[in-house]
A and B are shown apart, each in its own frame.
Chain A
Amino acid sequence: MIELIQDTIDTNTVLESVASAKAGAVVLFLGTTREFTAGRQTASLDYESYGEMAQRKMEELEAEARQRWSLIEVTLVHRLGHVGLGEASVAIAVSSPHRADAFTAGQWLIDTLKEIVPIWKKENWADGTSEWVHPGMPSTTCPETDRK
């Protein structure tokens, strides 16, 4: 199951999507909004995507993971829009006959998603400023008024 959604991620639905009698292991990863990054306080995050390409890249990740490891079901869900502190922005669930494949594939899926899938986060800092996060690119802090 590959999904880009605007609403809260329902972890029960995610887990049900990978459930199988063939599975000996299910691994669920959630990426959640952290309040402090290098001492700086976050109020919330906003996510945006290039939807068609993100969907395609996530499908490619699933296909590659299935080639590399013995997997039964793979689910990638990314939330878009406004995400509050402690809430999940991404969920990855993998089921496999044996746990090593589920752990390894789950880690590879989140690491690779963060490298190649065209989704961006904006940090809304507690001091009222906000900035798009673009690793390796000079900062674009601005006292924006378009906070949602």
Chain B
Amino acid sequence: MNIEVKLFAAARQAANQEILAIEIAEGATVQQLKAELGRQFPDLKSMLDHLLVAIDTEYAGEDQVLQAGQDIALIPPVSGG
């Protein structure tokens, strides 16, 4: 299935894009999405271990299964305040 992944801050800067389109297998988990992002977008690879994934504006676990139509975002370590 095709999904879009929102990027922010250093991840957006590294990929030089605000949204990445990526194809992943049906039933893929967050962990598998991150591995696929690393393969397709080498500029993100060095930071993947530090990124969390949000699904529909909630932090997701590594084993959570992705579904088409969800709002997916990569969340680098936050630094607000």
Per the bound structure, the CA–CA distance linking A72 and B9 in Å amounts to 35
Asked whether A121 lies within 8 Å of B80 as measured between CB atoms, the reply is yes
A15 at the interface (CB under 8 A from B): no
**Which B46-81 residues have a C-beta within 8 angstroms of A?**
46-47, 50, 54, 57-59, 71, 73, 75-81
Asked whether A115 lies within 8 Å of B78 as measured between CB atoms, the reply is yes
A52 at the interface (CB under 8 A from B): yes
Please classify how large the interface on chain A is, using the bins under 10, 10 to 19, 20 to 34, 35 or more. Answer: 20 to 34
B13 at the interface (CB under 8 A from A): yes
Q: A31, A48, A110: which contacts B8 (Cβ < 8 A)? A: A48
User: Which residue of the partner chain A has the closest CB to B7?
Assistant: A50
Closest CB of chain A to B8's CB: distance in Å?
6
When distances are taken between beta carbons in the complex, the residues of chain B under 8 Å from A140 are 10, 13-14
Per the bound structure, the CA–CA distance linking A118 and B58 in Å amounts to 10
**Which B1-28 residues have a C-beta within 8 angstroms of A?**
6, 8-10, 13-14
Closest CB of chain A to B36's CB: distance in Å?
20
Asked whether B8 lies within 8 Å of A90 as measured between CB atoms, the reply is no
Per the bound structure, the CA–CA distance linking A120 and B6 in Å amounts to 14
Q: Given known contacts A56-B57, A134-B50, A140-B13, is B8 in contact with A50 (CB within 8 Å)?
A: yes
When distances are taken between beta carbons in the complex, the residues of chain B under 8 Å from A25 are none
Per the bound structure, the CA–CA distance linking A9 and B70 in Å amounts to 34
Asked whether A78 lies within 8 Å of B13 as measured between CB atoms, the reply is no
**B8, B13, B75, B78 — most chain A CB neighbours (10 Å):** B78
Asked whether A137 lies within 8 Å of B50 as measured between CB atoms, the reply is yes
Asked whether A90 lies within 8 Å of B78 as measured between CB atoms, the reply is no
The 8 closest A-B pairs by CB, nearest first: A119-B80, A120-B9, A133-B79, A53-B57, A132-B10, A114-B81, A137-B50, A134-B77
A-B contact pairs, 18 of them (CB 8 A): A50-B54, A50-B73, A52-B71, A53-B54, A53-B73, A54-B80, A89-B80, A90-B80, A118-B73, A120-B9, A121-B79, A121-B80, A132-B76, A132-B79, A136-B77, A137-B76, A137-B77, A138-B46
